[in-house]
Every structure is written in structure tokens, then in C-alpha cells.
């Protein structure tokens, strides 16, 4: 029986960042690690060579990340920003909300789960806040159960 493939939703910008990272890992980082391995091998006895062990660990991490990126890019579903309007919140939308609890305005960009970067305002469409904002319009009030209690947000603006 064929395994069901889960599509990974990304903005076009997110896809491009993953492609650039994959290219960097394959062309630059692989070469650096190969050089480190060669240098460590030249030091002699591999059984007690910490530089060699470290280089092998770095190689394993690199290859795992390359495989992860290839899987993401093979299963990516790019959000077509031309099909999205600013009437409702979608993946790819930038949303300005008023947080009634803290009496402050906050801006979030709703992204696919693999693009999440909360420190830069990018929240997942699967997070409690992201999920609650999806399909909302300007003026809608959204209540979200969060770790610190219930949040009450008012949608102020939606843009791309």
C-alpha cells in the first residue's frame, strides 16, 4: 500500500530559501567537510582522532539536513499568492491584530509549519493563533486558548 504523502505548504519566498540552503549545503558545506575529513585522516590513527570523529559527525548532520530539505522540496505545495486576496487571512497573509489583553498591536505573517520563525513574526498556520486567524476578516474578534490563558485579538489589517 502506498504511503500518503503530506504536502508541505510554503510561501514562494520560503521555498526559495530552502532551495538556496540546499544548494549551499551541497556545493559549499560538503566540500568543507570533505576537506576536514581529509585533514583529520592525515593526522594518523583514526581510533583516537577526535578531529576525525567530529568531522564524521558534522558529515552525518549535513547529510541528514540535505535529506530533510530534499524531502520538503519534493513535497512542497507553494501557496499561489495571486489566488489569495486580502479579504480573509490565508497562509502567506500578513495580519495586524490588536491584542486586547496587552493593549498593543502585533503583526504576524501566517506561514506553513516548516517556515515558522516566531522571533520574526512568522507563525504557523497550525499554531493556536495562526489557526484561529485563518479565514478571518478585518474587524473579526478572535479568541485563542494559549499557554498563558485566553487571548483576545481583533483583526485590524490583512495584506500580502
Instruction: Write down which residue in 29, 51, 78 finishes a domain.
Output: 78
CA neighbor of 156 nearest in space, from 102, 84, 117, 99: 99
* Sheet containing 149-159: order of strands: 122-124, 104-111, 94-99, 149-159, 141-146
Q: Which three cell numbers stand for residue 30?
A: 560538503
CATH code of residue 139? 3.10.50.30
The reply to whether 1 falls in a domain is no
Note down the domain range covering 60. 8-78
- pLDDT tens figures, 62-111: 999 999 999 999 998 887 766 667 889 988 899 999 999 899 999 999 98
- pLDDT tens figures, 4-44: 667 888 888 889 999 999 999 999 999 999 998 888 888 77
The domain tally of the chain equals 2
Residues 146 and 86 both lie in one domain: yes
Residues 112 and 127 both lie in one domain: yes
CB 62 within 8 A of CB 30: yes
Residues 19 and 68 both lie in one domain: yes
Strands, E assignment, 33-102 = 76-78, 94-99
**Spatial distance between the Cα atoms of 12 and 14, rounded to a whole number of angstroms:** 5
Amino acid at each position: 500500500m502506498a504511503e500518503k504523502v503530506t504536502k508541505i505548504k510554503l510561501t514562494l519566498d520560503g521555498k526559495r530559501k530552502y532551495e538556496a540552503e540546499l544548494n549551499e549545503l551541497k556545493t559549499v558545506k560538503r566540500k568543507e567537510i570533505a576537506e576536514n575529513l581529509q585533514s583529520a585522516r592525515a593526522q594518523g590513527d583514526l581510533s583516537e582522532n577526535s578531529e576525525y570523529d567530529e568531522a564524521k559527525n558534522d558529515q552525518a548532520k549535513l547529510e541528514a539536513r540535505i535529506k530533510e530539505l530534499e524531502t520538503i522540496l519534493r513535497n512542497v505545495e507553494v501557496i499561489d499568492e495571486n489566488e489569495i486576496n486580502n479579504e480573509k487571512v490565508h497562509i502567506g497573509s500578513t495580519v495586524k491584530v490588536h491584542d486586547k489583553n496587552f493593549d498593543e498591536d502585533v503583526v504576524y505573517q501566517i506561514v506553513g509549519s516548516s517556515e515558522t520563525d516566531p522571533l520574526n513574526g512568522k507563525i504557523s498556520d497550525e499554531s493556536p493563533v495562526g489557526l484561529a486567524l485563518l479565514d478571518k476578516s478585518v474587524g473579526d474578534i478572535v479568541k485563542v486558548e494559549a499557554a498563558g490563558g485566553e487571548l483576545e485579538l481583533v483583526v485590524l489589517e490583512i495584506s500580502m
